[in-house]
Amino acid sequence: MSGDRAPLMAQPLRPPSAGRAAALLGLLVLGALVGVAGALVQPAWFPGGLLLALAGEAGTVLGAARLTRSRSGGIAVAAGWMIMVVLLTVSRPEGDFLFAAGSGSYLFLLGGIAVAVICATFGPGRQPDGDPARLRK
């Protein structure tokens, strides 16, 4: 630990700056767009479209986590994806719906949630400043 400063993990969380909040809001919208694109692609070419949709989601979530250098970017994209996909599953009063009751739709929904959670946790968490601790130092 460094002298008079408290370690990073002991400091309280601060709200994000305005620029970071705007970036996270943009990533939330990007996640929603990826969700719409995946919902339209996955039924078109069943095995390939499903894999393409899930790979696009995974790349976007991982890219956002790396871009923001924290898990919050990946979580923002994953949240936007989940909100949009859940909104697309609701049937309209006219009886129209986007997802059919088939295995591909369920694989997209459940697989997409699993991919979002897994990829969002790959981002770096809060790390303390200072020298890295090593055994037998």
pLDDT at position 125? 64
Q: Would you state the pLDDT for residue 59?
A: 92
Q: What is the pLDDT of residue 121?
A: 82
Judge contact between 1 and 129, C-beta under 8 A: no
| DSSP letters for 60-116 | HHHHHHHHHTSHHHHHHHHHHHHHHHHHHHSPPTTS--SS-SSHHHHHHHHHHHHHH
What does pTM read for this prediction?
Answer: 0.76
For residue 4, give every residue at least 6 positions away whose Cβ sits within 8 Å of its Cβ, in sequence order, or none. Answer: none
The pLDDT assigned to 129 comes to 54
Query: What backbone torsions phi and psi does residue 6 show, to the nearest 5 degrees?
Result: -75, 145
* Below-70 pLDDT ranges, the chain: 1-11, 95-97, 99-100, 123-137
